[in-house]
Amino acid sequence: MNLTVFKIHEGLRALKVTVLHRQGGRWYSAEISLLCHGLMTEVSSHPSFPGYLVLFGHYTKEETLAAIMGGQAYSATPLIGVEDRRLPFRPGFI
């Protein structure tokens, strides 16, 4: 493994993301747009997991609620690294 590949793998292990989960629900495009613009971050979704969003960076539930101006119930879980088992899918921004 060369040094460049090693640095990429190290970066993926240290990547900070926030997983938003809406139990039994789905995220609407307006909410995704508000999150992107309100938090100035990237948001990734997957059609097989409509109740999940992955945000680039760590955010609290309060920060995400402020960005979407309220909304339906959901949880916000900060994670480190793309190998975390709680990550429902590999985000498209990596």
Residue 90 lies in a domain: no
Residue 35 lies in a domain: yes
The count of structural domains within the chain is 1
Is the pTM value of this prediction over 0.75?
yes
Residue 88 lies in a domain: no
Residue 64 lies in a domain: yes
Sign of CA dihedral 68, 63, 39, 29: negative
pLDDT at 53 over 80: yes
CA pair distance 7, 13, nearest whole angstrom? 10
Banded pLDDT at 90 (limits 50, 70, 90): confident
Supply the CATH number for residue 76's domain. 3.30.70
Residue 91 lies in a domain: no
Residue 85 lies in a domain: no
> Domain limits at 16?
3-80
